[in-house]
Chains A and B, each alone.
Chain A
Amino acid sequence: MSTLSFGLTMLVVGMGGTLLTLWLLTLFIRGLTALLPPPKNGNKPQA
């Protein structure tokens, strides 16, 4: 693999993979917060 191919592979797959994984995580977080909603009184939990 040439240096240019290596660099472009890392850029496209690396950045694309990071973006895709984090987007996937946003979906999981949405699912989590929908499945486990805050209590009705709306108190912020003590984390």
Chain B
Amino acid sequence: MNTYIQVLKEDYFLAFITFGGLVYIIVLIIVLFYYLFKVFFKL
């Protein structure tokens, strides 16, 4: 884990796409739950 953070500290480009990707996974999970909610409650 330490090496992972060390690499991210050295390469800001890599850090940007890593965190961007993680943030988007969270966003997509929220969207997924929104649609799941719609399907489940037949809205």
**Chain B associates with chain A:** no
* Interface residues of A, Cβ cutoff 8 Å to B: none
